[in-house]
Structures are given as C-alpha cells and as structure tokens.
C-alpha cells in the first residue's frame, strides 16, 4: 500500500500559454502603441510634425516612415519574444528540478537494484513531465507485477503501452506554440520584403510626380523602405534560432524518456522469469 501511494505522487508542471491568439492580439496592440507614441513621437521629425521628414540621424523617426507594415512586423517580433520566454519556462518545468542526465542515471541505478520505491521517490523529487511519465510507468510496473493472471509477455507489453500513452500525453505540451514560431520564421522575412517593395513603389512614385530626379528624396525613400527589410530579417532570424533551440531541447527530453522507459521494461523482463 505504501509503495503504491509513493508511486502515485505526481505534480503538474507548467504547460505554458494555451491561447496563442490572445498573445497575438496583445502583441499587436502593444506594437501599434509603440509605433504611434514612440516611433511617431513629434520630437523625431522636422518642425515637430510626423508628416515631415525625420530629423537627420533619428532612427526612430525613420522606422516610423516605414509605414503600416512596421507594426505588423513588430507584432511578429514581439510574439516570437513572448512565446520564446513562455516555451523556456514550460520546457524547464517539464525537465524538473534536477538535471535530466543525473535523473536518468539515478533511475537506472535504482532499477538495477530492484528498488522500485526508491525510483518513485526520485521521480517525486525531480517533478516535471519526464518524472510524471516515469512515475506512471512505475505504477504500471507495480500493478502488473502483482497480476498473476497475465503472462510475462503481456506484462511487458502492458508496461510498454503505459510508457507510450504517458509520453503521448506529455510531449504535445512541450511543442505547444512552436508551430507559430516556425511560421514566423518565414512570415517575418516576407513581411519585411513586402514593406520594402511598398516603400520603393512610393519612392519612385513621388519622384515621378515631381517630374525630375531628386536624389535626396530617392535615397531617403530607399532607407525608409530598407528599415522594413531589417526588421523582417531580425524577426525571422530570432524565430529560427528560437525554434531550433527548443526543438533540440524537446528531442533531448524525448530521448531521456525513451531511455528510462526501455530500462524499466528491461528490468521487469530480467527480474520476472
């Protein structure tokens, strides 16, 4: 009875933000406020009027002249930053309190000694999604060991199935919101290019309307258009780095779960003839 009580101790880990749509809306509102009240502050423009050219060397005013594409790219950038922080804490919570490598080694050592209750205590101390999967497998281990109506093959299959089901419940939470970051890797760059094209069209249109070649207006228009490219590339680059980093972390967690699950099954098979 005491063993089963120890094995059943599981604590929920932080799974992250489930409503990514709210994150996008909040980031859009914040981006618009930044665009209008920081980048569009009259102090960045000639004669204090944002309809005029930006003051020479004023980057914020130049960014404002990038047009309506700027707050859209800002929204994507802020979304990447927010979801990256959210994924960091979610995955850190899933790993538990200690290092996974040590956790796996301690579990394997307890299993090699046949100390299932000791392995359960290690899971209770570790906490997190990985520990929950292992704890669930240990509960099943204890149940099938007492069920004499099952053959050894059926007992082993029952433990394997329990590990797979527990893993299937925990792992999707780890990759939550990563598809949005993956989408922004491309979308951010494309929106930057769109802003550049729009800016270039406006620049040449203004030159055509003036009826001559105004090199100052042309160079300023190009610099304003390229702001969108820079913002878009920055957003896409951060999204790629974030996505690859967290995908690597999840792969590491998956490997640890597979390793411990295999050890549990092998230990049961070796200790129950």
Per-residue pLDDT tens over the stretch 152-185: 888 889 888 998 888 888 888 888 899 999 999 9
Q: Given pLDDT bands bounded at 50, 70 and 90, which one contains residue 244?
A: very high
d(CA 243, CA 238): 8
Q: Which of 260, 273, 267, 269 is nearest to 115 (CA)?
A: 267
Q: What is the pLDDT of residues 92-109, one digit of tens each?
A: 988 888 888 899 889 888
Q: What is the pLDDT of residues 107-146, one digit of tens each?
A: 888 888 888 889 889 998 988 888 988 999 888 888 888 8
Q: How many CB atoms lie within 10 A of CB 39?
A: 21
Q: Which of 266, 250, 238 is nearest to 84 (CA)?
A: 238
| Structure-block tokens of residue 265 | 């099954």
Q: What is the pLDDT of residue 202?
A: 76
Look at the alpha carbons of 116, 119, 124, 127 in this order and tell me if their dihedral is positive or negative: negative
pLDDT at 35 over 70: yes
Q: What is the pLDDT of residue 5?
A: 45
In order, the DSSP letters of 172-228 are HHHTTTHHHHHHHHHHHHHHHHHHHHHHHHHHHHHHHHHTS--HHHHHHHHHHHHHH
What's the whole-model pTM score?
0.84
């Amino acid at each position: 009875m005491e063993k089963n009580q120890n094995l059943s101790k599981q604590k929920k880990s932080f799974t992250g933000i489930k409503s990514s749509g709210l994150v996008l809306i909040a980031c859009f509102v914040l981006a618009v406020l930044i665009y209008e009240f920081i980048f569009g502050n009259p102090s960045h423009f000639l004669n204090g009027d944002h309809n005029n050219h930006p003051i020479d060397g004023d980057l914020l005013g130049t960014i404002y002249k990038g047009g309506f594409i700027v707050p859209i790219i800002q929204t994507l950038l802020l979304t990447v930053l927010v979801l990256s922080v959210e994924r960091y804490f979610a995955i850190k919570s899933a790993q538990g309190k200690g290092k996974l490598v040590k956790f796996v080694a301690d579990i394997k050592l307890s299993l090699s000694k046949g100390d299932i209750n000791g392995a359960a205590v290690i899971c209770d101390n570790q906490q997190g999604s990985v520990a929950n999967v292992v704890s669930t497998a240990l509960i099943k281990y204890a149940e099938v060991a007492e069920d004499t109506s099952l053959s050894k093959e059926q007992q082993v299959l029952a433990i394997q199935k329990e590990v797979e089901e527990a893993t299937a419940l925990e792992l999707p939470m780890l990759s939550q919101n990563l598809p949005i970051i993956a989408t922004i890797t491309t979308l951010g760059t494309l929106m930057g290019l769109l802003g550049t094209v729009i800016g270039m069209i406006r620049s040449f249109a203004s030159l055509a309307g003036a009826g001559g070649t105004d090199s100052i207006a042309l160079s300023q228009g190009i610099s304003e258009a390229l702001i969108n490219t820079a913002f878009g590339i920055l957003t896409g680059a951060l999204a790629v780095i974030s996505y690859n980093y967290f995908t690597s972390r999840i792969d590491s967690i998956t490997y640890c779960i597979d390793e411990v699950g295999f050890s549990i099954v092998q230990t049961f098979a070796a200790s129950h003839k």
